Chains A and B, each alone.
Chain A
Amino acid sequence: MFIRMIAKAFLRQWKKMAMIALTIALGASLATAMLSVMMDVEDKINQELKAYGANITVVPKNSSVISELYDVEDGNITGSYLREDELGKIKTIFWAFNIIDYSPFISTTAVLENGDEATVTGTWFNHHMDLPTGETLDAGIASLRSWWDITEGEWLDEQSSMAEHEAMVGTAFAEKEGISAGDEITLDGDNEKLTVTVVGIFDAGGEEDDIIYVAVDTAQALGGLEGNIDSIEVSALTTPDNELAEMAAKNPGALSVSQYETWYCTAYTSSVCYQIEEVITDSVANVVRQVADSEGQILEKMKLLMVLITILSLVGSALGICNLVTASVMERSQEIGLMKAVGAHNPAITGLVLCEILVTAVIGGVAGFFAGIGFAQIIGQSVFASSISLRPMVIPVVAVLIVIVTLIGCIPAIRMLLKLRPTEVLHGK
């Protein structure tokens, strides 16, 4: 009889139920879309923010100490170097999958044919690596310095057999020396004299515009620095730092065992730095604070915005449900009064009404969930140019939210139902 009553009540007022289902579907779709994007946005935004460059720099320990003492930012003034043969180890740390790009730098000076002195920096452009894990990685400044504007020529291709005899120069240097793409320049280094062909001229908008960039081997040969690296710039997907991360960054030894495990197993920038220091001998990994902070702030703001949209959409749904269910109960007041008159207790009638609404909520919720997945994909494609992966966690969260919103929306109607006296509706008194 219960099911028969629900089914028939449902069919009789299908228009009202369809409106309730639509209201719930709207709330569910927005909640699903926002939660899906929110849970996936961290990676997406991190990837977007990688365009702003590396967020970690690794330097020799001695160099770091001197830099801190004398506030010197650039240049290897200590003669300490990192080991080139350890570069691959960065992709073996616990958070290896979060290391999306990195590049070593080794600087030396060379004298040009006209007697001018120039800074020559060896780096990776599109360096191909076969990792011990069996994976491959193409890393280097071609992706790490994606904002460089190639004004002439093209990026240096490290896969080319001529890569060791090629260079890229900044616009300031090219203008000063009257160099165009395709020209050859002779570099007289501390150790060797080499002639390189300029394959590209870039505009970085900074001090880099005065530098000649060559392959690592070329720079090492010029300066007699074989196997040595000045610094490494790393671009890693990280979690915004919190109190624990800040405490760990100062002194990981001060953490308790459980705090240490939590910190170590979370992709905080400080945690990733710590792990890099573990694999690169005598190194110090520093956070590029400006980039890391921006990432964290943008992420937090984006998440807050999405949480607010989710809350507002659910509040809107609750208000809509409230109006529709209250109208439905008012419309059925005589029927409810009759049920009470023939001996129905309040819980039985409340159960009947709630069951009808919850069945509607399930229909609306399922429809809204799938619509929400669609909305999330539209957001993903239009904002991040990639699909948003559905996290299984979204399903129970949306289900619980919909049940809560539906129940909250039903409260005024249920209160009215409980207060309804049969005499008022059956005799009009």
Chain B
Amino acid sequence: MSLLELKNVSKIYGELHALDHVNIKVEKGEWLAIMGPSGSGKSTMMNIIGALDRATEGEILLDGEDIAKKSEKALTNIRRDKIGLIFQQFHLVSYLTAVENVMLSQYYHSVPDEKEALEALERVGLKDRAKHYPSQLSGGEQQRVCVARALINYPEIILADEPTGNLDEANEEIVVELFRKLHQEGTTLIVVTHNPEVAEVAQRTIVLRNGKVDHETINENFTGKIKHITLM
């Protein structure tokens, strides 16, 4: 049984079909990249997979359970227990330190544990920056705090929306390296990206176009390591 399965999922806004009968399967421990041009339905798909939004029609099976018709409260519980979210704009709470931002996720999940939060920051190489506020961290560091926040509650899926969109090359590599480690540890990763370099390091890439799955590619030489293309 797949960890996540979308069956004929559509999201319709009036006349616009943001997603049009999409069928996707994601296996446990898989690293999937979702690509596509602007307006192709990437973010809509991320919102639906992340239980942040509801599909207009279709089934979304997470661990075999259809979450498409769940209540708002049940969707919140699913986000809390099964999904780790990483955003392009980081969305850290400005008045909380790095460790407190990680603990925020723990607080709404179970019980905040500073020691565990510090360990999560250590995993992303930021233990020494734990007491710093977001404004005192670089973009890459902020995104690593987001990764720590996403993984603190041991979610079944980590869902990243353009995780390197606001990062320079060096930080992009650090974040992708973090994903590689998480994948090696058995974490299921779904990364929505514009960036072909980031998509190429995934095991499988789905390309969306006009709300439909245009094509799918399997990375035969999967290493999880980024290869930068140098423009001449």
Given contacts A348-B108, A427-B43, whether A342 and B52 have CB atoms under 8 Å apart is no
Residues of A within 8 A of B103 (CB): 1
Please determine whether B77 and A334 come into contact, CB atoms closer than 8 angstroms. Answer: no
Contacts of A344 in B (CB 8 A): 76, 80, 108
Q: For the complex, what is the distance from the CA of A317 to the CA of B95, rounded to whole Å? A: 28
Chain B residues whose C-beta falls within 8 Å of the C-beta of A426 in the assembled complex: 52, 87, 89, 91
Task: Given A12-B94, A427-B161, decide whether A1 and B107 contact each other with a Cβ distance below 8 A.
Answer: yes
Chain B residues with CB under 8 A of A421 = 52-53
Contact with B along A336-351 (1 / 0, CB 8 A): 0111111111001000
Inter-chain CA distance A338–B112, complex, in Å, is: 17
B75-91 vs A, CB cutoff 8 Å, 1 = contact: the mask equals 01101110001010101
> B76 and A343: CB pair below 8 A?
yes
Q: Decide: A343 near B91, CB < 8 A? Known: A1-B112, A8-B96, A422-B52.
A: no
- Asked if A429 is at the interface of the complex by the 8 Å CB criterion, the answer is yes
A389 at the interface (CB under 8 A from B): no
Q: Is A5 positioned at the interface, with any CB of B under 8 Å from its CB?
A: yes
When the two chains form their complex, are residues B112 and A335 in contact, meaning their CB atoms are under 8 A apart? Answer: no
Per-residue interface assignment for chain B, residues 52 to 81, with 1 indicating a CB less than 8 Å from any chain A CB and 0 otherwise: 110000000000000000000100110111
Among residues 335 to 371 in chain A, which have CB atoms less than 8 Å away from a CB atom of chain B?
335, 337-345, 348
A12 to chain B, nearest CB (A): 4
Chain B nearest CB from A366 CB (Å) reads 25
Q: Are A342 and B43 in contact (CB under 8 A)?
A: no
0/1 string, A258-287, CB within 8 A of B gives 1: 000000000000000000000000000000
Q: Does B1 contact A (CB under 8 A)?
A: no
Looking across the interface, which residue of chain A has its beta carbon closest to that of B92? A338
Kindly state whether residue A176 has any CB partner on chain B within 8 Å. Answer: no
B79, A341: Cβ atoms under 8 Å? yes
Question: Which single member of B79, B87, B89, B161 contacts A343 (CB below 8 Å)?
Answer: B79
Q: Are A339 and B104 in contact (CB under 8 A)?
A: yes
A423 contacts B by Cβ under 8 Å: yes
| B191–chain A nearest beta-carbon distance, Å | 15
B53 to chain A, nearest CB (A): 5
Tell me if B112 and A11 are in contact (CB < 8 A).
no
Chain A residue nearest to B107 in the complex (CB): A1
Residue B109, interface by CB 8 Å? yes
Of residues 109 through 125 on chain B, the ones whose CB sits less than 8 Å from some CB of chain A are 109, 112
In this complex, the interface size class of chain B, counting residues with CB under 8 Å from chain A, is 20 to 34
Q: Which residues of B100-159 have CB atoms within 8 Å of chain A's CB atoms?
A: 100, 103-105, 107-109, 112, 149
Q: Which residue of the partner chain, among A1, A5, A342, contacts B149 with CB atoms under 8 Å?
A: A342
B210 at interface by CB-CB < 8 Å: no
B108-A343 in contact (CB<8A): yes
Which residues of the other chain, A, contact B96 by a CB distance below 8 angstroms?
A: 5, 8
Q: Is B171 an interface residue (CB 8 A)?
A: no
**How far in angstroms is the closest Cβ of chain B from A417?**
14
Q: Tell me if A4 counts as interface (CB < 8 A to partner B).
A: yes
Interface centre among A338, A342, A345, A348 (most CB of B within 10 A): A342
By a CB distance below 8 angstroms, the chain B residues around A345 are 73, 76, 108
Note all chain B residues with C-beta closer than 8 A to A1: 100, 103-104, 107, 112
Chain B residues whose CB sits within 8 angstroms of the CB of A343 once the complex forms: 76-77, 79-81, 105, 108-109
Residues of B within 8 A of A340 (CB): 76
Is A9's CB within 8 Å of the partner chain B? yes
Q: Which of B136-188 contact A (CB under 8 A)?
A: 149, 161
| Nearest residue, chain B, Cβ from A428 | B89
Question: Cβ of B77: which chain A residues have Cβ within 8 Å of it?
Answer: 343
Q: Can you name the residue of chain B whose Cβ is closest to the Cβ of A334?
A: B91
Given contacts A1-B112, A423-B53, A426-B91, contact A342 B100 (CB under 8 A): no
Task: Return chain A residues, CB-CB under 8 Å to B23.
Answer: none
* Shortest CB distance A176–B (Å): 89
Question: Counting CB contacts under 8 A, is B203 at the interface?
Answer: no
User: Which of A2, A12, A335, A337 has the most B CB atoms < 10 Å from its CB?
Assistant: A335
- Complexed CA–CA distance, A421 and B79 (Å): 13
Residues of B within 8 A of A12 (CB): 94-95
Shortest CB distance B160–A (Å): 13
Q: Given A1-B103, A1-B112, A427-B43, decide whether A342 and B95 contact each other with a Cβ distance below 8 A.
A: no
Determine the chain B residues whose CB is within 8 A of the CB of A337 once the complex forms.
Answer: 91
A422 to B77 alpha-carbon distance, docked (Å): 14
Q: What residues of chain A have their CB less than 8 Å away from a CB belonging to chain B?
A: 1-2, 4-5, 8-9, 11-12, 334-335, 337-345, 348, 421-423, 426-427, 429
Supply 30 A–B pairs (Cβ within 8 Å), ascending by A.
A1-B104, A2-B107, A4-B100, A5-B96, A5-B104, A5-B107, A8-B96, A8-B100, A9-B95, A11-B95, A335-B94, A338-B93, A339-B108, A341-B50, A341-B52, A341-B85, A342-B109, A343-B76, A343-B77, A343-B80, A343-B108, A343-B109, A345-B73, A345-B108, A348-B108, A421-B52, A422-B52, A423-B47, A427-B43, A427-B161
Taking A423-B47, A426-B52 as known contacts, 6 extra A-B pairs with beta carbons closer than 8 A to each other, sorted by chain A number, are: A8-B100, A343-B76, A344-B76, A426-B87, A426-B89, A426-B91
7 pairs of A and B residues whose beta carbons are closest in the complex = A343-B80, A12-B95, A344-B108, A1-B112, A1-B107, A343-B108, A8-B95
